[in-house]
A and B are shown apart, each in its own frame.
Chain A
Amino acid sequence: GEDVEQSLFLSVREGDSSVINCTYTDSSSTYLYWYKQEPGAGLQLLTYIFSNMDMKQDQRLTVLLNKKDKHLSLRIADTQTGDSAIYFCADDAGGYNKLIFGAGTRLAVHP
């Protein structure tokens, strides 16, 4: 079945760039997503990329997609303490009916 994997933890210094990585198995994915979850809260959609694109930039966020290797990354420039959260990668399994999520990467930003 479909599977999405992420590294569990990333620690960065304030002001540095963060890169969160994700791999997925589904060849039929149409869109791939990044969500952010703060403690006790729901998921906030950060950005998403169409599977035929290689890159998408949105302010401090850059998404890179290597479809051949089924690898997705999220780069956060100038990381701030407010970026500390869990980041989830998800793919749509080729349709509108569900998202398949990874287990999340906890980003810790320290001074």
Chain B
Amino acid sequence: DTGVSQNPRHKITKRGQNVTFRCDPISEHNRLYWYRQTLGQGPEFLTYFQNEAQLEKSRLLSDRFSAERPKGSFSTLEIQRTEQGDSAMYLCASSLADEQYFGPGTRLTVT
């Protein structure tokens, strides 16, 4: 399967713990995106990379959130000191031009 992959698929954590998610984009896709989706809503943009450069961050991305794409391939999204409001599906997408292809998402539950 050469689509976008995300790990883990599910994560349950206690409030205050740190979590890290990984996204592997489609090979050769230079653009990578993170979105967050809560129940009953559409995905909301968090941040965007072109190669290894983080070019845009949403105001939703508080200082507890950090994303990296060190070699322009896979990306990680870390949430520090998780809060119950962080519970959501975190989606990664990649693109080469006009089409964004999404991964299956990581569902985070903060207890």
Which residues of chain A have a CB within 8 Å of any CB of chain B? 4, 30-31, 33, 35, 40-45, 48, 88, 90, 92, 96-104
9 pairs, CB–CB < 8 Å, chain A vs chain B: A33-B100, A41-B104, A42-B102, A48-B99, A96-B95, A98-B56, A99-B45, A104-B40, A104-B42
Q: B12 → chain A, closest Cβ, in Å?
A: 15
Please tell me the size bucket of the interface on B.
Answer: 20 to 34
The dominant DSSP class at the B interface is: strand
Contact with A along B5-29 (1 / 0, CB 8 A): 0000000000000000000000000
Q: A18 → chain B, closest Cβ, in Å?
A: 19
Which residues of chain B have a CB within 8 Å of any CB of chain A? 4, 31, 33, 35, 40-45, 48, 50, 55-56, 58, 91, 93, 95, 98-105, 107
Question: A96 contacts B45, CB within 8 Å?
Answer: no
Most buried by A among B4, B93, B98, B100: B100
* Option from B56, B105, B107 in Cβ contact (under 8 Å) with A97: B56
Q: How far is the CA of A64 from the CA of B31 in the complex (A)?
A: 28
Q: Using known A-B contacts A31-B98, A96-B95, A97-B55, determine if residue A42 contacts B103 with beta carbons closer than 8 Å.
A: yes
